[in-house]
Structure 1
Amino acid sequence: MTPSPTAPGSQLASRFGLSDRVFAGPLARRLAAKIEQGLEQVESELAVELKAADPLVDATSRYLYEAGGKRVRPMLVLLTAQLGSGANQRVVDAAKALELMHLGSLYHDDVMDGADRRRGVQAAHQVWGNSIAILTGDLLLSRASVIMSRNGDEAMRLQSETFERLVLGQMHETVGAQPGDDPIDFYIQVLADKTGSLIAAAAQAGAFFSDADEKYTEPLRVYGEKVGVAFQLADDVIDLSANPADTGKVPGTDLRAGVPTMPYLLLARREDEESRALLARIDEGVARIADGADPAILDAPLTELRDHDVTEATRELSLKWTRDAVDALDVLPRGTVREALTRFAESLAIRSS
C-alpha cells in the first residue's frame, strides 16, 4: 500500500496503534511518511521470512504475527534511523529481527504465565499445546539470529546481549524476589530486562545501522530501557482494566496466574487494615486458582485493586519513568526526530490514563 501523501500520521495511528500526536505538524508528517514506507517494507519482508513449506510450521509461526500488534519496535528502529542515513537494508533487517525476537518471547511468556489470550485471539499454547508453542518461539528467535547475522559481528552482539537479558528477566520473574531483595527494585529490574532491553535495542539499532553519530548510542539505549519500564508499568494498570479490548486478555491475567504486578507490590507495603485485607483475599484467591478453582473468584478483589490508590500510584510511576526517558534525549539535535521520540514515549505511558 502506498502511504497517503496527506495524512501518513493518521495511517500510522490506524494501522500500528500510534497516536497522531507522535507525528504532529507538517515536518513531522513528512517524517511519518518515511516511517510508514519503512514499515511497509518491514511488513512485506516479515511475511516472506515467516513463510514455511511445512504447513504446521507455517501456521504456528505466522499465528501471532497475523493476529496484529503495534510493531512498536520496528517503528522505533525506523524512527531513530532518521538520525542517520534512514531506512537502509541493514536498518530494515534489524527492525525485522527485533520484531521476531519480540514475537518469539510472546509464545514463551504465554506458556509460562498460563495466559488464555494474546492480541485478541487464543494464546498459541491453547491452540497447539505447550510444546509446539515453545518450539515456535524457539524457531522465531533462531530466525531473528539468522537475519541479524547478515549484518556482522556488531549486529550479532546486540541481538545476543538483548536475548540474554530477555532470558534473565524471565528467569528472575519465574523464581521471584529472594530474601534480601527489595521486591519493588527487583520487579523494576525484571521489567528493564524483559521489556526495556528489547526497546533499548530497537532505539540503538536504528541509529547504529544508519551510521548516525556514535554519541547518540548510549542515550538512546537509556531512553529505550526507561521507555520499556514505563510501558510495562502502564500495562500493569491496563491489566486491571474492566475492558478486555484494552489488553486482548482477561483482566487481571497476570495476577490470577500468580505473577506480581506493581499495584500488588505497592499494596503489599501498605499497613492499613483495608489494604491488608485486600492483599489477603488476593493471595487466597491466587492459591485457590493454583489448586484448580475458577479464576473468576478473583473478579471482585481485582476490581477493588483497580480502584485502590496503589493503581493510581503505578500510573504516576509510569509517567516518572517516561519523563526520565525523555530527559535522556537531551544530547540529540532538536528537531522532528527528537520531538517524535518524546511523543512516542508519552503516548505509550498514557495508554493507562
Structure 2
Amino acid sequence: MNPSAPTRGSSLSKQLGLAERMFATPETKRLLSAIEEGLDAVEASLAAELSFTDDLADATSRYLLEAGGKRVRPMLLLLTAHLGEGVTDDVVTAAKAIEITHLASLYHDDVMDHADRRRGVPSAHTVWGNSIAILTGDLLFARASNLMASLGEGAIRLQAETFERLVLGQLHETVGPKEGDDPRAHYIQVLADKTGSLIAAAAQAGVIFSNAPSEYEAAVVEYGEKVGVAFQLVDDVIDLSAAPEQTGKVPGTDIKAGVVTLPLLILRERAASDAASAALLERIERGARAGEDSADFDAAIAELRGHPATADTLAEAHRWAREAVEALDVLPKGPIKNALTRFADSIVERSS
C-alpha cells in the first residue's frame, strides 16, 4: 500500500456510505482493504495507459487524470467483482478502460457545456482550445477501446454500446425534446444515457470479468443506471446550494450556463398554473439570459432553493435511489450488497 492508502480508505468508506473502518465488521474491513488495493493497482497503471510519444498528446491526456477525481466507476466495478473471483487482472483492465472512458467524456462535455473549470483546474478547452480538447477526448476513447479489445468480443460490444448511449445522451441534451415530448421524461432519459449508462457498465463489467454468476448482471445494470440518475438529480439540487465553499460551485451555475435541471423543469410546469412560480421563472430566465452576476438572479436562485420544485427534485432522487436498491434483491446478503445499498443511500444524503 502506498502512503496515501489510509486517507483513501477513509474516503472509500465515505463514498460507499459505510461507517469508518474502526466500526466496521471484520468482513467489511476485508472487503474495503481488497477494494483499496485494487484501486491502487488501477491508479498506478492509469498514468502509463495515458502516455503518448507525442508531447502535446501526452500532456493533454493526463491533464484531467492528474487533477484528481473520486474514481467512483472503478470503485463500483471492483466492488461488484467481489461477487465473483475478486480483483483479477481482467477486472483491473476493465476498471482502467471504464475510467478512461469517463475521462474522455469530460473533455467533450466541457466543450459542449462551455465549462470553465473541471476538478478545480481550468477545463482543457480553456487551456488548449476546443479542437485540442475534442481530439484529446477522442484519443482517450480510442485507448479505452483498445483496453476493452484485449478482453474479448463481449467487452468490445459492452464498450461500443455504452459509448453509443453516451453520445446519444449528449445529442439529446443538445437538441432538447421534440414537439410533443414530455420534457421531464426526456431529461431523465438524458441522465440515464449520459451518466447512468457508464456507471451501469462499470457494475456489469465487475460481474463479467470476475466470472460472477450471470444472474447478477441484470440486477447490477439496473442498479447502476438508477444510481446514476439519482446522482445527477442530487447534483441539480446541489447547484442551488447556498454553500459554494462546500460544493465548489457558485449557486445557479448550471442554470446560468443554460444547462437544463429538474428544479427548473418542474418550476416551468408549475408556472402554467401558479403566478408566483411564473414570476420566479421569469426572473431566473432573465438573469440567465443576461449572463452576468446580479443580486436579483442570486435572490431568485435562493428562492428556487426553497421552492417546492426543488423538494420535488430531491424526492425524485430518493425514488431512483430506492429503486436502485430494490434491484439488488437477487444478490446474496453480505458486505457487498450492504455497501451497494449504502452507496445509493449516501448519494441522496449529500443534500438531505
Q: Decide which moves more: 23-32 or 83-92.
A: 23-32
In 1, are the aligned partners of 2:267 and 2:277 still within 8 Å (CA)?
Answer: yes
Write out per-residue CA displacement over residues 152-173 of structure 1, whole angstroms, 9 at most, x where no aligned residue: 1000100000000000000000
- How many residues align? The count is 348
Q: Which amino acid aligns with 1:326?
A: V
Alignment-derived partner of residue 123 in structure 1: 123
What residue is the counterpart of 2:316 in the other structure?
A: 317
Instruction: Report the Cα distance in structure 1 between the residues aligned to 2:276 and 2:240, rounded to whole angstroms.
Output: 19
- Per the TM alignment, residue 300 of structure 1 is displaced from its structure 2 partner at its CA by 2.7
CA distance in 2, matches of 1:92, 1:259: 34
- Runs of 4+ aligned residues of structure 1 deviating over 6 Å after TM superposition are 3-8
Q: Is the 8 A contact 1:50 1:61 kept in 2?
A: yes
Which residue, 272, 275, 278 being the options, matches 2:274? Answer: 272
Against the structure 1 CA distance between its residues 116 and 297, is the aligned structure 2 distance closer, same or farther, given a 3 Å change threshold?
Answer: farther
- Residues 41-80 of structure 1: matches in 2 within 5 Å? 41-80=41-80
Question: Does residue 334 of the first structure (1) align with residue 336 of the second (2)?
Answer: no
The equivalent of 2:148 in structure 1 is: 148
How far apart, CA to CA, are the structure 2 residues paired with 1:64 and 1:265?
31
- C-alpha distance after superposition, 1:45-80 (max 9, x if no partner): 101111223222222111111111110000000000
Separation in structure 2 between the aligned mates of residue 158 and residue 317 of structure 1, nearest angstrom: 29
TM-score of the two chains, using structure 1 as the length reference: 0.93
Tell me what 1:21 maps to: 19
- Shift in Å, 1:128: 1.3
- 1:212 aligned partner: 212
Does residue 230 of structure 2 align to residue 230 of structure 1? yes
User: Which range moves more in the overlay, 26-35 or 50-59?
Assistant: 50-59
Report the residue type matching 1:60 in the other structure: T
Q: Which runs of 5+ in 1 are unaligned?
A: none
Change (3 A) 1:4 1:120: closer
Q: 134-143 vs 79-88, which deviates more? A: 134-143
- Provide closer, same or farther for how the CA distance between residues 8 and 153 of structure 1 changes in structure 2, counting only shifts above 3 A: same
Cα 1:137–1:251, aligned 2, differ >3 Å: closer, same or farther? Answer: farther
Please list the CA deviations of residues 269-298 of structure 1 after superposition, one character each: whole Å capped at 9, or x if unmatched. 112211111111122222233xxx558873
Change in Cα spacing, 1:242 to 1:8, as seen in structure 2 (3 Å) is closer
Amino acid at match of 1:70: K
**1:104 and 1:166, CA in 2 relative to 1: closer, same or farther beyond 3 A?**
same
Q: Deviations over 1:101-122 (max 9, x none)?
A: 1111111111111112111111
TM-score, scaled relative to structure 2? 0.93
Determine whether 1:350 maps to 2:352: no
Cα deviation digits, residues 80-105 of structure 1 (max 9, x gap)? 00000011111111111111111111
Distance 1:207 1:300, change over 3 A: same
TM-superposed CA distance for 1:308, in Å, is 1.7
Deviations 1:298-348 (A, max 9, x none): 333222212222112211111110000000000011111111111111112
Q: CA deviation at 1:4?
A: 9.4
Structure 1 residue aligned with 2:177 = 177
Partner of 2:114: 114
1:188 and 1:213 mapped to 2: Cα distance?
Answer: 30
Distance 2:297 2:4 in 1: 46
Amino acid at match of 1:306: R
Matched with 2:136 is 136
Code of the aligned partner of 1:218: A
- In structure 2, relative to structure 1, the CA distance for the partners of 1:125 and 1:7 (3 Å cut) is closer
Whether the aligned pair in 1 keeps the contact of 2:50 and 2:61 (CA below 8 Å) is yes
- Counterpart selection for 1:284 from 283, 286, 294: 286
RMSD: 2.1
Alignment partners' CA distance in 2, 1:218 and 1:294: 46
Deviations 1:172-193 (A, max 9, x none): 0000111110011111100000
Aligned partners of 1:98 and 1:144 also within 8 Å:
yes
- SS of residue paired to 2:242: coil
The one-letter amino acid of 1:341's match is L
Is the contact between residue 5 and residue 36 of structure 2 (CA under 8 Å) also seen in structure 1? no
CA positional deviation for 1:267: 0.6
Q: 5+ unaligned residues in a row in structure 2: which ranges?
A: none
Corresponding residue number in structure 2 for 1:305: 304
Contact 1:240–1:251 (Cα < 8 Å) also in 2: yes
SS in structure 2 at match of 1:166: helix
CA distance in 2, matches of 1:117, 1:251: 15
Alpha carbons 2:98, 2:198 under 8 Å: kept: yes
CA shift in 2, pair 1:296/1:121, >3 Å: farther
